[in-house]
Structure 1
Amino acid sequence: MSDFDAIVLGAGAAGLFCAGVAAQHGARVLVLDHADAPGKKILISGGGRCNFTNLHTAPDRYLSANRHFAKSALSRYTAQDFIGLVNAHGIAWHEKTLGQLFCDGSARQIVDMLLAELAKGGGELVCGDAIRDVAHADGRFAVTTSRTIYEARQLVIATGGPSIPKLGASGFAYDLARQFGLKVVHPRPALVPLTLGGEEVLFRELSGVSAPVVATAGKASFAEAALFTHRGLSGPAILQASSYWTGGEPLWIDFLPQAARDWLLDAKRTSPRATLRSALRDALPQRLADVLADRLGVDGMLGTLPDKPLRAAQERLGRWAFHPNGSEGFAKAEVTAGGISTAELSSKTMEASNVPGLYAIGEAVDVTGWLGGYNFQWAWASGHAAGRAIAEAARG
């Protein structure tokens, strides 16, 4: 049996970073993971280049039952703080778009950096060892694995959510949280492609077609590209909106976000012999223009048509209602929305209020960021908050 100040369950972004911080501040830390190698989700992120943070990180770009919860951790460990660490390790990076930062080389550089930070503090890592049981008694946690038993005064749940199960992701964090009496906000796929059915199946024929749009779900709108797929809708704008979409509600698409308010009436005056189809082909990919024109059913040269149907076509193109019948689920979701309730945790330390020594960080918690490096920044910020608290408790 081995004894530590803290055991971190999960060798992903949040877990490795938390352990490195705690270890470098004097805590004896062990990271445990059932996978055969650390950082698997990091390695596939950002097309293999890891979108490791976002310059525009702010609390209002995160979803949570408590929209204020993330403020403390995010303010105390910022994107600039993580960039400083990346620079210190000599990792070259670039901004791709919208504040999204990627490695010039490979995501492997981020994993290697996290492992180096852990080793620098003398932290230990054990992979490929399945957790059989977690117990708590007399202020100590005992973690039984397939090989041995580890004990510590503090335990960190950093096993993420069930998104991308092919990498070994599961709902283990929620089971463990419930075991210790913590509430869980219903987990659901987020940053996920949406599926279409019924009469909207015809849009699947556009598979591979992409266009810049504004996608709106609930009160949230995102101006990025939408991509039609053989199952429905994807692309950055759709993935972003999916986190705010509720089953049964419409998803609104503005297909011509840059167009003037009365662009079609203007076209009627300047190009009276044009048709709606030809006008749409000037602004959109041809296949998409043709499908939209067919659905609108406005035929004839613009100069021969009354203003009323043209205005109606303008309005629909600016607020086209899709009715997704679902999403592609956790298998294709980049992250999980919901998770361990923030009402159970300290926003300053990530420690459970009713179970001293128990922490939850990263994707396991009910804090979900936008697409584009925001979820990694939450992993770093929440991991840093818990890591510092763990070290302080170990010293005490």
Structure 2
Amino acid sequence: MSIIQHDVIIIGAGAAGLMCAASAGQRKRSVLVLDKGKRPGRKILISGGGRCNFTNYTVEPQNYLSQNPHFVKSALSQYTQWDFLGLIAKHDIAFHERDHGQLFCDDSAKQIVDLLLRECADTEKVKYQYQIDIISIERLDNTGFIVHTNNGVYQCESLVVASGGLSMPRLGATPFGWKIAEQFGLKVIQPQAALVPFTLDGKEKELCNLTGTALPVRVSCNNQSFTEALLFTHRGVSGPAILQISSYWNVGDTVVVDWLPNLDLADLLVQAIDKNPAQELKTMLSKVLPKRLVEIFIGLGDVTNCLLRQLTQKQIDHIAMTLHHWILKPNGTEGYRTAEATLGGVDTNYLSSKTMEARDVPGLFFVGECMDVTGHLGGYNFQWAWSSGWVAGLNV
């Protein structure tokens, strides 16, 4: 069987892989993108409710989790959110800002996939093979790689692994990229689901009676806090606040919930006692919290209902402390099925932060979600895909 030669082979036609292909193609490198799916950018297409939260106005290293927290700095500075917004302007894609600087397409996430494919097409150097199974990868003596597939054998000088993590398995997520890393002696940090809803059990399962209700909260765990919406589900809790804090949570940890992050409940109670001492506590609390949630607090014994005038200062302080520092102990998470990202992956200590190349395996690159870099909710993971993909493309 003949071996087809390319300068660069990229495994994965997702956000990072396509950005890398465009970047390499602009340098006149011949590029072959291999993907086991039927079409490119599948995760992009369903992201952000079909409108793709493609980046954020504010992108900082502290928006990312990694065992090597400094790793992201170089790539994020080499290719910034403003660079990607330049592409958005070039392709006349209308967009809007939501909370916390999050940027979404006005129309469709398909516009982002089309943008990437047009950028690749303009180079006239990028080719694609879909529904490809990679059988094996061989390392040639300092001259590149041979990739054996179900549709032929390919040789390249540079091999880029852009196969993603394990989130959203319905889109075909696999640990393939980590197997390649281990084949070539790179350490893989144990992956786990990130940006994922919590499940609840025991008495806390009562909260599931509020399925569909959302409210602003502050959640804290392991010295991290987020103030955003919490959503009750039929299995537990979700919403932006929970997804964010889930990346910092480990099995067995508790999460502190402030149900009234924008109010001082102790002061509110004192004012209510002064204005309407004959009112019941649950009636007063139901003015600032969902009534069913207040009933659950009472049912669980966290709050004892009484007339406001019966409250002592000690009881006021206890109620305020309870609802501003409510202890939630998740049973677990929904796992990769609903996770928006993956924690862990290829240990970045084995990679160059400036090029994404494996330090001890010349020509081997990793980009995007398959490495140990996980962004916060809000467009940060896509920005990492753009930044890491672009930087690798400049060096393959």
Same topology, TM > 0.5 = yes
2:129 maps to which of 120, 126, 130: 126
1:289 maps to which of 290, 294, 310: 294
The aligned residue for residue 34 of structure 1 is 36
* Matched letter for residue 272 of structure 2: A
- Partner Cα separation in structure 2 for residue 242 and residue 51 of structure 1: 19
Task: Tell whether 2:353 aligns with 1:351.
Answer: no
Q: What are the equivalent positions in structure 2 for 1:155-304 lying under 5 Å apart?
A: 155-260=159-264, 262=266, 263-295=268-300, 296-304=302-310
**How much does 1:36 deviate?**
0.7
TM-score when normalising by structure 2: 0.97
The aligned residue for residue 74 of structure 2 is 72
- Partner Cα separation in structure 2 for residue 275 and residue 69 of structure 1: 55
TM-score when normalising by structure 1: 0.97
* Matched letter for residue 314 of structure 1: A
- Partner Cα separation in structure 2 for residue 129 and residue 246 of structure 1: 36
The aligned residue for residue 109 of structure 1 is 111
Question: Residue by residue, what CA displacement relative to the aligned partner does 1:100-120 show, whole Å, maximum 9, x if unpaired?
Answer: 000011000000110111111
- Partner Cα separation in structure 2 for residue 305 and residue 252 of structure 1: 25
* Matched letter for residue 71 of structure 1: K
**How much does 1:289 deviate?**
2.4
- Partner Cα separation in structure 2 for residue 4 and residue 165 of structure 1: 30
2:334 maps to which of 325, 328, 334: 328
* Matched letter for residue 134 of structure 1: I
Contact 1:276 1:293 in 2 (8 A): no
Contact 1:209 1:288 in 2 (8 A): no
**How much does 1:205 deviate?**
1.4
* Matched letter for residue 18 of structure 1: C
* Matched letter for residue 199 of structure 1: K
SS in 2 for 1:346: coil
The aligned residue for residue 25 of structure 2 is 23
1:136 maps to which of 139, 149, 163: 139
How big is the alpha-carbon RMSD for the aligned residues of Structure 1 and Structure 2? 1.0
- Partner Cα separation in structure 2 for residue 267 and residue 374 of structure 1: 43
- Which range is displaced more, 317-326 or 290-299? 290-299
Task: Tell whether 2:374 aligns with 1:368.
Answer: yes
- Partner Cα separation in structure 1 for residue 139 and residue 281 of structure 2: 68
- Partner Cα separation in structure 1 for residue 182 and residue 278 of structure 2: 67
Identity of aligned residues (%): 49
Contact 2:303 2:319 in 1 (8 A): no
Contact 1:7 1:30 in 2 (8 A): yes
The aligned residue for residue 314 of structure 2 is 308
- Partner Cα separation in structure 1 for residue 366 and residue 138 of structure 2: 16
SS in 1 for 2:336: coil
- Partner Cα separation in structure 2 for residue 257 and residue 177 of structure 1: 44
- Partner Cα separation in structure 2 for residue 276 and residue 60 of structure 1: 41
- Partner Cα separation in structure 2 for residue 68 and residue 357 of structure 1: 23
Task: Tell whether 2:388 aligns with 1:382.
Answer: yes
**How much does 1:261 deviate?**
5.5
SS in 2 for 1:162: coil
- Partner Cα separation in structure 1 for residue 224 and residue 280 of structure 2: 33
Q: What are the equivalent positions in structure 2 for 1:42-53 lying under 5 Å apart?
A: 42-53=44-55
- Which range is displaced more, 267-276 or 330-339? 267-276
The aligned residue for residue 394 of structure 1 is none
SS in 1 for 2:8: strand
* Matched letter for residue 278 of structure 2: R
**How much does 1:290 deviate?**
2.0
Structure 1, unmatched stretches of 5+, are 391-396
- Partner Cα separation in structure 2 for residue 84 and residue 104 of structure 1: 16
Question: Residue by residue, what CA displacement relative to the aligned partner does 1:278-327 show, whole Å, maximum 9, x if unpaired?
Answer: 12211122222221233323221111121212211111100111100110
Question: Residue by residue, what CA displacement relative to the aligned partner does 1:21-72 show, whole Å, maximum 9, x if unpaired?
Answer: 0101121111100001100000000000010001111000100001111011
SS in 2 for 1:244: coil
- Partner Cα separation in structure 2 for residue 300 and residue 285 of structure 1: 18
SS in 2 for 1:389: coil
Structure 2, unmatched stretches of 5+, are none
**How much does 1:186 deviate?**
0.7
- Partner Cα separation in structure 1 for residue 189 and residue 156 of structure 2: 27
- Partner Cα separation in structure 2 for residue 26 and residue 274 of structure 1: 75
